[in-house]
Every structure is written in structure tokens, then in C-alpha cells.
Structure 1
Amino acid sequence: MAGGACVICASGDLLDGGDGIRFTVTRPTGEEPAFVVRHGGRVRAYLNRCAHVPVELDWQPGRFFDSDRRYLICATHGALYEPGSGYCFAGPCKGRTLVPVEVEERDGGVYLVG
């Protein structure tokens, strides 16, 4: 998905603290997996890559939140990330952040920007 704004999903597909939607972004290094979730009423998107080592976060496709649905969690390392900022506050990559992906929500959809 490159150029302009590409639709990722319908706004209604993302419930607050619910499952995320996986998608792919085109970067200078090639295609990379990413995901979008809703938390605190806002959509947030990041590359689907732990800040510790480059493994995907979700323990099952689209499952990015911990059992309390408060934080993003790396299924491999147990690192916990703040959904709003991508900041890791617990785990082997404490102090690092997920790589954000620019998205916008409008007209009933969630769009990749860029």
C-alpha cells in the first residue's frame, strides 16, 4: 500500500481494546507487516515488530493486547507497550518504542497515509 491514502479497514472493525487488523506497508527496505488497533477511542498503528528483536507481536493473528486489554504485548518476550505511544515500559526492550505507522480515521474508514 503506497501513495495517497489506502483503506485498511472499516472503523467499525476496530473495537476499543479488541483485536487489531494486520496490513502491509511499503518501506524503502521492502514490504513490512504492520497492525492497527483502537485504544482509548483512537486508532493507533505500528510496524508489527517487537523493539527487542524483529518478531511479530501478535500471539494469534490480530491478538495484540494483553489479557486485561490495556497494553500491547509481545507474545515472544512478554514486553508490554503503551498503546497510545508504542513505548515499552516492561520487558527486555524497556525504554524503546514500536515504530509508528501514520493512519487516519475518516468517513467510516481507517486509512494508511503516505
Structure 2
Amino acid sequence: MAAPERLICASDDLAEGGDGVRFEVDTTSGRLPAFVVRFEGQPRAFVNQCAHVPVELDWQEGAFFDADGRYLICATHGATYDPVSGACVFGPCRGAALKKLAVVEVDAAVWLLGADG
């Protein structure tokens, strides 16, 4: 596993199926918005860009989950994503996926992993 690259947030900032924490990530396409949420006890991070149309998912800062806290949802088009894999399970981008980011939880904090993580 790669060494943690950058601190994203404290572990306590993420509640199961609750609001996420936004951050930015450097990619080959430039700096992009990203987010991390907690699902099934683990932090899950993705580039904050719908696979249907490149818009950010959250309708209000940090609001990525549907009302039941089971799926990530794009507020613009209703595309619905699996919070583990990022795969679109319903909506206009079915079969596509969010770009997943590698994160790790160490010492009560969530860290972004390096490119080989």
C-alpha cells in the first residue's frame, strides 16, 4: 500500500450514510473536486463529477447520499451510484462509474493515498 499522501479529514467528520467532505485532487486532467463519505464503516472517495455530464453531484455542500443513505446521487440528473464501487446503478449513465480514489483511515483520520495506492 502506498503511504498516505494528504490528510482529507478527521474520521469523526464522516457519519455512516451522512454528509461527505469535499476536497480537491490533482489528476492528469488538472485539479478536480472530490469527496469522501462513510459507507459500510469505510471511507469511500471519488472525483466529484457525474459520469453522465461533468457536473458536481452534491445539491448542497456535502450532500451526496439519497434520503435513505444507501446510494450516492447526482442532484442534477438523478444518476444513482453504488457507494462502494462508484458504478452507476440507475439513471442516464447506467454502466458508467464515478472515478474512485484510494483513501485510508489511520489514527482517527482519513488520508488520500498516492497514485500507486
The TM-score bracket by the shorter chain reads: over 0.9
State the match for 1:24 in structure 2: 24
Give unpaired runs (5+ residues) of structure 1: none
State the match for 2:6 in structure 1: 6
State the match for 1:93 in structure 2: 93
Mapped contact 2:8–2:110 kept (Cα < 8 A): yes
The normalised TM-score by structure 1 is 0.95
The code of the aligned residue for 2:102 comes to E
Tell me if 1:62 matches 2:58: no
1-side partners of 2:82 and 2:28: how far apart?
27
Output one character per residue of 1:59-108: Cα deviation in whole Å (capped at 9) or x when no partner: 00000000111100000000110101101110000011100011111111
Mapped contact 2:4–2:104 kept (Cα < 8 A): no
Give unpaired runs (5+ residues) of structure 2: none
State the match for 1:77 in structure 2: 77
Output one character per residue of 1:19-73: Cα deviation in whole Å (capped at 9) or x when no partner: 0000000112211000000001011000000000100000000000001111000
2-side partners of 1:46 and 1:34: how far apart?
6
2-side partners of 1:81 and 1:39: how far apart?
12
State the match for 2:45 in structure 1: 45
User: Could you tell me the percent identity over the aligned residues?
Assistant: 59
> What secondary structure, in the 3-state scheme, does the structure 2 residue paired with 1:49 have?
coil
2-side partners of 1:39 and 1:29: how far apart?
27
The code of the aligned residue for 1:100 comes to K
State the number of aligned residues.
112
**Structure 1 segments (4+ residues) deviating >3 Å:** none
> What secondary structure, in the 3-state scheme, does the structure 1 residue paired with 2:54 have?
coil
The code of the aligned residue for 1:113 comes to L
